[in-house]
Structure 1
Amino acid sequence: MTKAAGKTFKVGDHVSWNSEAGRVRGHILRVHRKDVDYKGYVHHASPDDPQYEIKSDKTDHVALHKGRALRRLRS
């Protein structure tokens, strides 16, 4: 588990976040604790401020977000 912006998330957590299309829901697939090159962009991450790799519930889309952008959902 990691802690970012006062929130703790782990692989498997069900979360939501805002996107251009509105609120999206998904499950955390991986937690990145160091910079990661994803789709041609470097996403900055550290043990204190990780990036979360999340798969949308409705599509196969995978997104990377910091913990401060996420909201935990009840299972």
Structure 2
Amino acid sequence: MGLSKGDTVTWNTPQGRTEGTVVEKRTSDFTHDGQQFRASEEEPAYLVESSSSGRRAAHKEDALTKKGS
């Protein structure tokens, strides 16, 4: 798929489907909100910002759906 900063995406949350924007692509392991995430060039992770709450979350690419795709 290949997501880029600024892409509009959707993802599932316990409250239902959420829409937001890709803020950053990560290609090395990192910590976000106290949780450890694994990322690499082959399997990047993305920081996304919710359009409704403004909160940021980290997700693997396969958990995100690019809007309009």
* Same fold, judged at TM 0.5 (above): yes
Unaligned runs of 5+ in 1: 1-6
1:73 maps to 67
Q: List structure 1 segments (4+ residues) > 3 angstroms apart after TM superposition.
A: none
Unaligned runs of 5+ in 2: none
Q: Which of 36, 47, 52 is 1:42 aligned to?
A: 36
TM-score by length of 2: 0.94
TM-score by length of 1: 0.87
What is the identity, as a one-letter code, of the residue corresponding to 1:27? T
Q: CA RMSD in A?
A: 0.7
Match of 1:8, SS? coil
Report % sequence identity: 29
The alignment status of 1:33 with 2:8, answered yes or no, reads no
